[in-house]
């Protein structure tokens, strides 16, 4: 275990709420941080993920198990309760954003993620595995970028490179690319420039998407999962 403490009790309420829902086996399971949590929680008022991502015949395709503020270590800890009972045919994991905030390095996050992916392919032979790149966020161009932000971007790039290497060495794993998506940037020429991420598709915290942002993410995920829908 890493020496960064986890406040598991603060997440237990979310886990219990998911456990009280009917178990839907054989779906595409989304497992990750608040990028998923807000995508359908009544608290935030956005259209639900399971409405945005459906089978081509209109039937339900996904189960959303996002729990806000979760790190890769906490996702690993709750895997037995949040992934295994649902026996998914595909697993979509979003991690790293909170790891970086709480001081985990890219190597620590990748180690936890690798373990989760190993567990999934061992538990469910033939499962399709997807990992979401840490999503672009506006830098706040109205103020001078602090060194901490620049350092964070470099670490994020290191983590994405680790994901690229993992994908190249594991045929069952696909990275869902976000940093090459023109709709997330001010102009097509700005793709990949963290200074030029669109601000109008995020709420005031510049971290979480608004409904227009989720419209774009829905399109990206539908395209990435097309062969399963």
What token pair was written down for 152? 């964070």
Task: Determine which of 102-106, 136-140, 199-203, 220-224 has the lowest per-residue pLDDT on average.
Answer: 136-140
CA angle 46, 16, 30 (to 5 degrees): 50
Mean pLDDT of the chain: 90
Backbone angles phi, psi at 63, to 5 degrees: -120, 130
Instruction: Say whether pTM exceeds 0.75.
Output: yes
Q: What is the pLDDT of residue 154?
A: 84
Q: What is the pLDDT of residue 86?
A: 98
The per-residue pLDDT for range 162-190, each reduced to its tens digit, is 999 999 999 999 999 999 999 999 999 99
The per-residue pLDDT for range 48-97, each reduced to its tens digit, is 999 999 999 999 999 999 998 899 999 999 999 999 999 999 999 999 98
SS3 (DSSP) at 130: strand
DSSP 221: H
CA distance 131 to 70: 15
Can you identify the CATH homologous superfamily of domain 9-14+23-228?
SGNH hydrolase (3.40.50.1110)
CA distance 93 to 25: 17
pLDDT-derived band at 6, boundaries 50, 70, 90: low
Per the document, the length of the chain is 229
């Amino acid at each position: 275990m890493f020496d960064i403490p986890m406040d598991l009790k603060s997440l237990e309420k979310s886990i219990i709420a998911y456990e009280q829902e009917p178990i839907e086996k054989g779906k595409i399971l989304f497992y990750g941080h608040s990028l998923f949590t807000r995508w359908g929680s009544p608290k935030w008022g956005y259209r639900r993920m399971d409405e945005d991502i459906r089978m081509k015949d209109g039937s339900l395709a996904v189960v959303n198990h996002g729990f806000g503020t979760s790190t890769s270590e906490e996702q690993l800890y709750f895997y037995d309760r949040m992934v295994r009972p649902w026996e998914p045919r595909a697993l979509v994991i979003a991690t790293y954003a909170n790891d970086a905030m709480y001081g985990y390095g890219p190597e620590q996050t990748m180690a936890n993620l690798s373990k989760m992916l190993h567990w999934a392919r061992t538990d469910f032979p033939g499962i399709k595995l997807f990992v979401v790149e840490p999503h672009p966020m506006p830098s706040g161009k109205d103020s001078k970028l602090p060194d901490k932000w620049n350092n964070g971007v470099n670490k994020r790039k290191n983590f994405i490179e680790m994901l690229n290497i993992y994908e190249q060495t594991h045929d069952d794993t696909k990275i869902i690319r976000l940093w090459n998506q023109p709709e997330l940037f001010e102009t097509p020429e700005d793709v990949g420039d963290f200074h030029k991420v669109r601000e109008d598709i995020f709420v005031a915290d510049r971290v979480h998407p608004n409904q227009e942002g989720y419209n774009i993410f829905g399109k990206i995920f539908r395209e990435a999962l097309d062969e399963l829908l």
